[in-house]
């Protein structure tokens, strides 16, 4: 079933791509093939392989149970939040927080996670910023 | 000897204190990356590229550092295979079969040193193979025009699924997805924006580094979070025992090393094969000819030597098409191609004629790194064994954070970080569906070049499509592409059954596919 859905998604994407290519505005610079032809070829390959997957799906993969799936959803949400907050709050604080969260998701106790988060954030700051001079996001506190 | 004098020039470049230090650092990091389960050559190098890029190292030192990591990871994978029965990376999977039983018999030290020596032999001779074969391939490649290049790229995609592919439709769909992603951005030939959804961020296209780090590193973190894997710390590592192998043991395994090297090197050069296949073939062949007393699988040193020589030789062999043609044949070399492109070096025949210093400096660095790795991996192996105890609950968050730092360092943009997370999630879904990630990466890397060559060919022929099959060289490449795509459908079933039998023995967690 998953393979069939994926094949269908590929087919839809192929359709979208065909349309997307057809509305590309041609420029005054021209070459015989133009900017639309190759995307159309790719869309055709996508469509054919998508249909092939719908006709001959493999065995169903093992999707994670609800609890595991939620763990992934939370982790991804935390990462997006991290990306948004990083330039505002600064590197050290946000990184310690998300590293601790991920560590907790990976089975660390709260105490272990907190210490791990601080160690990871501090360690990266030390190695990459202080020693190697890489510019990391600077928050209102200067780090 | 033209080649040897070029190689001597290369040594002159590589033998500076700075480059030696970088090679040493790369070898150490590489061995560690290879040894830690969950990090392998492809995701290890992928995480480091943006960092090296942001720190602003010049091209040659950066290359030396990263290829040392690549070779080092090939060495390191065996350590956790032997001690914990968990392959540190996919190519090291075959090493578990005889390595772990050896460790259980109290011969862990010998298993580590024999496999270390086998890695050295494989990598050393494969690097010589690279020295002599790559310039020959360059001579052929210099005859290529746009038509031949277009056919060559098609060949690379058609064969990428390779003999290990379970479903050719999935390899093809992966390649098409990658190519489609490459189409996003301003068209280089006519300057019109394509598939940008009128979003300024998309005008430059999707940065391949962002895609690679998301696919390889972030998706690996998600896999670990899903499985709640706490890493190998649960089992205590067995005692090492004797570390220096006896001469008779070396003698006993030398045949296995030699055969493993040759088979691995060939597997490495072939498109769509790579190091995992190299070690698989080397082990299977050695078992066939040497398993007289039914000792394989029960701790036979030859069963450790053959696959390790095989995967390290394949790592060297895989560099031949990557450097000479600019077309990688495996996941890790695709990452190395990304590294070259990020450093503004386009591999291919012109690299050998225009920037010989880069090529030969790199090859010399491989020789030097290989000696360093031998020293690091036999007497100092105990150090890595202790580092193996880092549990995944600290390692994986650190991997994720270093990925974020690297990508943020390139552009300082939140948008790029979010694209990286999106690729991480997509990579996780694709891995669940058994869709290979390497063709996607290759599509993103090569898509624009592939299109440009097609369009250049059409400009030359004034739109005549028959030009694609006019030269015999191009026809040959097309035939190879078609055969390469169809053959696994026929032969693949047979090979897969063999591989399945093997993988039943092994239940460990495996890193990113090679």
Give the nearest partner residue to A42 out of B180, B191, B417, using CB atoms: B180
In sequence order, the 6+-apart residues with CB closer than 8 A to the CB of B510 are: B87, B89, B90, B93
Which tokens is B50 given? 């943006």
Give the nearest partner residue to A33 out of B192, B412, B454, using CB atoms: B454
Count Cβ atoms below 10 Å from residue A78 Cβ, excluding itself: 15
Highest mean pLDDT among A21-25, B116-120, B492-496: B116-120
Does B396 contact A20 at a Cβ distance shorter than 8 Å? no
Identify whether B237 is part of a domain: yes
- pLDDT value of residue B355: 84
If one compares B319 and B40, the residue with the highest pLDDT of the two is B319
- pLDDT value of residue B273: 63
Give the nearest partner residue to B458 out of A21, A33, A45, using CB atoms: A33
In b/e form, how buried is each residue of B285-305, taking b as 16+ CB within 10 angstroms? bbbeebeeeebbeebbbbbbb
Does B225 contact A75 at a Cβ distance shorter than 8 Å? yes
Query: Would you say A136 and A125 are in contact if contact means Cβ atoms under 8 Å apart?
Result: yes
> Burial, B501: exposed, middle or buried (Cβ in 10 Å; 0-12, 13-18, 19+)?
exposed
pLDDT tens-place string over residues B414-465? 899 999 999 999 999 998 888 888 889 889 988 988 998 998 888 888 888 8
Identify whether B47 is part of a domain: yes
Identify whether B512 is part of a domain: no
- pLDDT value of residue B238: 67
Query: Would you say B118 and B77 are in contact if contact means Cβ atoms under 8 Å apart?
Result: no
pLDDT of B402 strictly over 80: yes
Mean pLDDT for the stretch of residues A66-89: 90
Residues of A in contact with B62 (CB under 8 A): none
> Is B4 in a helix, a strand, or coil?
helix
Please name which of B370, B343, B355, B308 lies closest in space to residue B115, comparing C-alpha atoms.
B308
- pLDDT value of residue B234: 47
Flag whether residue B192 sits within 8 Å of chain A, measured between CB atoms: yes
Chain A interface, best mutation among B217, B232, B401, by max A CB count within 10 A: B401
Identify whether B442 is part of a domain: yes
- pLDDT value of residue B162: 60
Q: So what's the ipTM on this one?
A: 0.92
Does A35 contact B189 at a Cβ distance shorter than 8 Å? yes
Q: B246 lies in which domain range?
A: 2-142+149-505
Question: Considering only residues 22 to 81 of chain A, which have any Cβ-Cβ distance to chain B shorter than 8 Å?
Answer: 24-27, 29-35, 38-39, 42-43, 45-46, 48-50, 52-53, 56, 58, 61-64, 68, 71-72, 75-76, 79-80
**Of B221-230, B252-261, B283-292, minimum mean pLDDT range:** B221-230
- pLDDT value of residue B513: 41
pLDDT of B81 strictly over 80: yes
Does A108 contact B393 at a Cβ distance shorter than 8 Å? yes
Q: Look up the pTM and report it.
A: 0.86
In sequence order, the 6+-apart residues with CB closer than 8 A to the CB of B244 are: B113, B378, B379
Identify whether B511 is part of a domain: no
pLDDT of A114 strictly over 50: yes
- B63: which strand partners? none
Mean pLDDT for the stretch of residues B37-45: 81
Does A120 contact B401 at a Cβ distance shorter than 8 Å? yes
Domain tally, chain B: 1
**% chain A with pLDDT above 90:** 35
Domain ranges of chain A: 2-55, 66-131
pLDDT of B300 strictly over 50: yes
pLDDT of A76 strictly over 90: yes
* DSSP classification of residue B237: P
Nearest-CA distance B150 → chain A (Å): 12
Mean pLDDT for the stretch of residues B374-382: 82
């Amino acid at each position: 079933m998953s393979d069939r859905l994926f094949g269908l998604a590929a087919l839809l994407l192929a359709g979208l791509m065909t349309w997307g290519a057809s509305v590309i505005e041609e420029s005054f610079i021209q070459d015989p093939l133009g900017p639309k032809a190759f995307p159309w070829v790719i869309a055709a390959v996508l469509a054919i392989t998508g249909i092939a997957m719908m006709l001959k799906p493999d065995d169903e993969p093992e999707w994670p149970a609800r609890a595991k799936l939620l763990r992934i959803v939370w982790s991804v949400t935390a990462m997006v939040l991290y990306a948004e907050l990083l330039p505002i709050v600064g590197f050290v604080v946000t990184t310690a927080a998300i590293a601790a969260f991920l560590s907790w998701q990976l089975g660390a106790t709260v105490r272990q996670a907190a210490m791990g988060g601080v160690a990871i954030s501090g360690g990266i700051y030390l190695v990459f910023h202080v020693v190697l001079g890489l510019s990391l996001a600077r928050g209102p506190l200067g780090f | 000897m033209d080649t040897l004098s070029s190689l001597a020039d290369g040594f002159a470049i590589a033998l500076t204190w700075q480059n030696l230090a970088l090679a040493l650092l790369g070898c150490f990091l590489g061995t560690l990356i290879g040894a830690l389960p969950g990090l392998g050559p492809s995701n290890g190098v992928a995480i480091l590229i943006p960092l090296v890029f942001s720190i602003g190292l010049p091209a040659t030192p950066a290359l030396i550092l990263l290829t040392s990591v690549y070779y080092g990871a090939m060495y390191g994978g065996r350590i956790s295979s032997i001690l914990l029965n968990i392959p540190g990376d996919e190519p090291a999977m075959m090493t578990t079969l005889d390595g772990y039983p050896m460790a259980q018999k109290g011969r862990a030290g010998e298993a580590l040193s024999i496999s270390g020596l086998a890695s050295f032999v494989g990598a050393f001779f494969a690097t010589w193979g690279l020295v002599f074969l790559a310039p020959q391939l360059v001579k052929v490649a210099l005859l290529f025009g746009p038509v031949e290049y277009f056919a060559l790229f098609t060949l690379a995609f058609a064969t990428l699924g390779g003999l290990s592919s379970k479903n050719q439709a999935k390899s093809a769909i992966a390649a098409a997805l990658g190519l489609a992603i490459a189409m996003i951005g301003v068209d280089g030939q006519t300057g019109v924006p394509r598939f940008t959804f009128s979003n300024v961020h998309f005008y430059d296209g999707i940065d391949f580094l962002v895609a690679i780090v998301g696919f390889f590193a972030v998706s690996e973190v998600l896999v670990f979070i899903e499985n709640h894997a706490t890493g190998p710390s649960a089992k205590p590592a067995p005692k090492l025992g004797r570390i220096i192998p006896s001469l008779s043991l070396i003698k006993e395994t030398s045949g296995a090393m030699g055969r493993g090297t040759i088979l691995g090197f060939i597997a490495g050069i072939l498109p769509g094969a790579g190091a995992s296949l190299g070690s698989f073939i080397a082990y299977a062949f050695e078992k066939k000819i040497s398993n007289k007393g039914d000792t394989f699988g029960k701790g036979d040193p030859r069963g450790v030597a053959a696959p390790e020589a095989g995967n390290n030789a394949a790592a060297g062999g895989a560099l031949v098409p990557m450097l000479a043609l600019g077309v990688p044949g495996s996941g890790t070399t695709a990452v190395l191609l990304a590294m070259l492109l990020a450093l503004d070096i386009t591999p291919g025949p012109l690299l050998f004629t225009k920037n010989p210093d880069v090529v030969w400096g790199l090859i010399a660095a491989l020789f030097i790194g290989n000696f360093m790795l031998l020293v690091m991996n036999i007497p100092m192996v105990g150090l890595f064994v202790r580092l193996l105890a880092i549990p995944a609950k600290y390692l994986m968050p650190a991997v994720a954070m270093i990925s974020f730092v690297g990508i943020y360092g390139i552009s300082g943009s939140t948008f790029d970080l979010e694209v990286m997370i999106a690729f991480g999630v997509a990579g996780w879904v694709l891995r669940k569906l058994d869709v290979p990630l390497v063709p996607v990466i290759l599509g993103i890397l090569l898509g624009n070049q592939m299109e440009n060559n097609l369009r250049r060919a059409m400009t030359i022929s004034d739109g005549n499509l028959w030009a694609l099959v006019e030269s015999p060289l191009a026809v040959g490449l097309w035939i190879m592409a078609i055969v390469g795509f169809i053959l696994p459908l026929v032969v693949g079933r047979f090979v897969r059954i063999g591989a399945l039998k093997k993988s039943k023995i092994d239940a460990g967690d495996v890193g990113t596919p090679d």
